[in-house]
Structure 1
Amino acid sequence: MRESAAERHDRLLELVREQGSARVSDLAGRLGVSPVTVRRDVEALAERGLLDRVHGSVSWPQSAAAAGGTGSSAGSGGPVLGLLAPSATYYFAEVIRGAHEAAAEAGARLILRISDYRPEQDRARTKGLLASGAEGLLIAPGWQGAGDQAAYGDWMAELPVPAVLLEREPAPGSALDDLDRVCSDHRHGVLLAVRHLVGLGHGAPLLVARADSPTALAVRAGYDEALGALGLEQPRPVIGSVPAELDRGRFEEAVRAVQEAVVSGGVTAALVHNDVDAIHLVQRLAELGVRVPEDLALVAYDDEVAALADTPLTAVAPPKRQVGRHGTRLLVERLGTEPRGLEPGRHLALLPRLHVRASCGAGALP
């Protein structure tokens, strides 16, 4: 795979930080690119205040060296914070927005790297953030499966700067369990949905959910816990959901399974993760003669676009922006604590809310 400009910039910054200064020609050889490319990269990085240029060579900024090599944000004197996120769209757009707001309020500079849900790239992306001068890190690893932490996560326990995990809960007792973290309590979110549907007179709802992200896995686990807490029996096995645009055949299988569960009379309510899948599901069910909410009361999970459906969807809304805000505030507080290591670590769980709309048949709350 061809190296991106951002990845090359990260490597260039790391080389200069390690050496203190370097000639452009030497950097070209180390990076395996032309001197013209390096000069262009250096100009871009110098404009951002990440490097100093001096007669054919570059050096680590004097402002960063004076601050102990941390690269404080120009003019503000505040800390530089690095944020690693698996995506800048959908769910994590709000997390990033909250982090940016809190960083600005604290006089800090926020640097962003995106992993595109490739957990094998998380470490390299984080090294890039450190090379850019990050003094503390907000990390939402690109984990998708249950084994990704063990395969790609142990390095985070050895980070040289304070770090806060966002929307990720490591395995209990693992090295990463000692890190600060701020997460949405998805189990509580599922309980809100199940309790709401049962309160409307339905039996235990059917769960239609993905299995390709930590949120999806937490929703599945929360479903089992919610049924147990409310003394309910699972009406059908969980129906695995996949995006319609990625695998139309498997999506159709899921739709037909929901249709059969409703037509047979055994199911009158469902919880669907996520919003986009729920909208596609409702549209396809209507084509098959199953109406929401008349035949099936439905609650979506995520509340990104649920309100925009033809029949606005009741949805569980994780506090995404607040996760970013609280994580950033915690990190800034960590950076300002001297001596470090004396304050206890924190695991902060933020509670989702249920936004009631037309799809569950209850009508919107006043």
Structure 2
Amino acid sequence: MRESAAERHDRLLALVRERGSARVSDLAGLLGVSPVTVRRDVEALSERGLLDRVHGSVSWPRDAAAPAADPAGGPVIGLIAPSATYYFAEVIRGAHEAAARAGARLVLRISDYRPEEDRARAEGLLASGADGLLIAPAWRGAEDQAAYGDWMAGLPVPTVLLERTPAPGSPLDGLDRVCSDHRHGVLLAVRHLVGLGHGTPLLVARADSPTALAVRSGYEDALAVLGHTGAPAMIGTSGPEVDPARFDAAVREVRDAVISGRAASALVHNDVDAIHLVQRLSDLGVRVPEDLAVIAYDDEVAALGDIPLTAVSPPKRHIGRCATELLISRLGSGQDEDEPGRHLALLPRLRVRASTTR
């Protein structure tokens, strides 16, 4: 994917801020672009007061510690998200709504699920005058947090994490955060399927995102809560667009479980995978919901399938709203040492549709 000018500016600002000053020719090599491109970027950034230019070099402005004021007079809030589509589109919309109500300006940066880019995005936002940050790190698993996460604990402005739960006891565990309670969402789904008399449901899930991992963990907890003590009936998949062969194998594993009588229901993460699964199962002679009741997790496009899918709906827009309101309250109160940090967990809901009703 081609890097945008805004993303390149973020990287350039991060490099200069880290070094204090740098030669334009050196920046071209570090950024992997031509000297002409860097000179053009430096000119644009210096005109905005974000860099100082001196004889072929650039330096960090002496007064950069003071955030630039927003023309409207309200605070500037930086938001870093791994994507602006699918799940996070609603989170961003909620954050924008809350910022607008408070008279704040929201500035968005997208990491494209590259955790190594999160820090540069934050540096760029700070250089542009952000008074506080909302960050949904681009982690896919615990290894990404360990490799790319600790720097967030040292940010000089109030920071709220979105939809990410750091490892207990880690430097980030003391940050404010607002997350969906995915364990509760999975419990809603499993309890609904068990209540319909389907026995232990299958879980068909990826393992390539914090939400996917939370759904897997929540599934095991839900079975324990409901007294299903056998080994979890979990089928791993990478999704049809990532690994078609593995996804096809997962579909056939589900088909075999239905035919053998081992399963009559399934929870599938995410919506897109669930829609593909239902389509493939139909080709193999398995009917939904007659042979297999299906619940999707995310509720982004679940209602749009040939058979509208029952789905767990995390409160995505409310995550954005609550996180923004929390950050604005921090900006209003300043760094009050007596103010406790907050870990807010918002509860998903279950939207019942045709895929679990006969």
TM-score of the pair, normalised by structure 1: 0.87
Once residues 60 and 152 of structure 1 are traced to their aligned partners in structure 2, the CA distance between those partners, rounded to angstroms, is: 24
Partner of 1:332: 328
Indicate the RMSD between aligned Cα atoms, in angstroms.
2.9
* Deviation (angstroms), 1:50: 5.9
Once residues 209 and 311 of structure 1 are traced to their aligned partners in structure 2, the CA distance between those partners, rounded to angstroms, is: 20
* Deviation (angstroms), 1:342: 2.2
**After superposition, what is the alpha-carbon deviation per residue over 1:194-237, rounded to whole angstroms, capped at 9, x for unaligned?**
11111212112111011000000000111111111111234753
Letter in 2 for 1:95: V
Partner of 1:69: 66
Whether the 8 Å CA contact 1:206–1:235 is kept in 2: the answer is: no
Once residues 121 and 12 of structure 1 are traced to their aligned partners in structure 2, the CA distance between those partners, rounded to angstroms, is: 12
Letter in 2 for 1:202: H
Once residues 50 and 151 of structure 2 are traced to their aligned partners in structure 1, the CA distance between those partners, rounded to angstroms, is: 27
Cα distance change on mapping 1:349 and 1:257 into 2, 3 Å:
same
Partner of 2:7: 7
Once residues 169 and 34 of structure 1 are traced to their aligned partners in structure 2, the CA distance between those partners, rounded to angstroms, is: 40
Whether the 8 Å CA contact 2:80–2:136 is kept in 1: the answer is: yes
Cα distance change on mapping 1:15 and 1:202 into 2, 3 Å:
closer
**Alignment pair present for 1:161 and 2:161:** no
Cα distance change on mapping 1:34 and 1:148 into 2, 3 Å:
closer
Whether the 8 Å CA contact 2:52–2:61 is kept in 1: the answer is: no
Partner of 2:292: 296
More deviation, 287-296/330-339:
330-339
- Partner SS, residue 300 of structure 1: strand
* Deviation (angstroms), 1:60: 8.8
* Deviation (angstroms), 1:120: 1.7
**After superposition, what is the alpha-carbon deviation per residue over 1:324-346, rounded to whole angstroms, capped at 9, x for unaligned?**
11001101110111353321000
**Alignment pair present for 1:90 and 2:86:** yes
Once residues 103 and 27 of structure 1 are traced to their aligned partners in structure 2, the CA distance between those partners, rounded to angstroms, is: 38
Partner of 1:199: 195
Partner of 1:118: 114
Partner of 2:280: 284
* Deviation (angstroms), 1:72: 2.0
Letter in 1 for 2:321: R
**Alignment pair present for 1:130 and 2:129:** no
Map 1:1-366; keep pairs closer than 5 Å: 4-13=4-13, 28-29=24-25, 31-32=27-28, 37=37, 40-41=40-41, 69-73=66-70, 75-234=71-230, 237-361=233-357
Once residues 257 and 18 of structure 1 are traced to their aligned partners in structure 2, the CA distance between those partners, rounded to angstroms, is: 51
Cα distance change on mapping 1:35 and 1:318 into 2, 3 Å:
same
Q: How many residues align?
A: 353
* Deviation (angstroms), 1:12: 4.8
More deviation, 104-113/276-285:
104-113
- Partner SS, residue 142 of structure 2: coil
Whether the 8 Å CA contact 2:77–2:106 is kept in 1: the answer is: yes
- The alignment-based identity, stated in percent, is 72
* Deviation (angstroms), 1:9: 1.6
- Partner SS, residue 294 of structure 1: coil
Cα distance change on mapping 1:35 and 1:174 into 2, 3 Å:
closer
Once residues 295 and 235 of structure 1 are traced to their aligned partners in structure 2, the CA distance between those partners, rounded to angstroms, is: 22
- Partner SS, residue 92 of structure 1: helix
Letter in 2 for 1:218: A
Once residues 108 and 173 of structure 2 are traced to their aligned partners in structure 1, the CA distance between those partners, rounded to angstroms, is: 24
Once residues 228 and 319 of structure 2 are traced to their aligned partners in structure 1, the CA distance between those partners, rounded to angstroms, is: 31
Once residues 358 and 2 of structure 1 are traced to their aligned partners in structure 2, the CA distance between those partners, rounded to angstroms, is: 41
Letter in 1 for 2:175: L
Once residues 205 and 152 of structure 2 are traced to their aligned partners in structure 1, the CA distance between those partners, rounded to angstroms, is: 29
* Deviation (angstroms), 1:42: 5.8
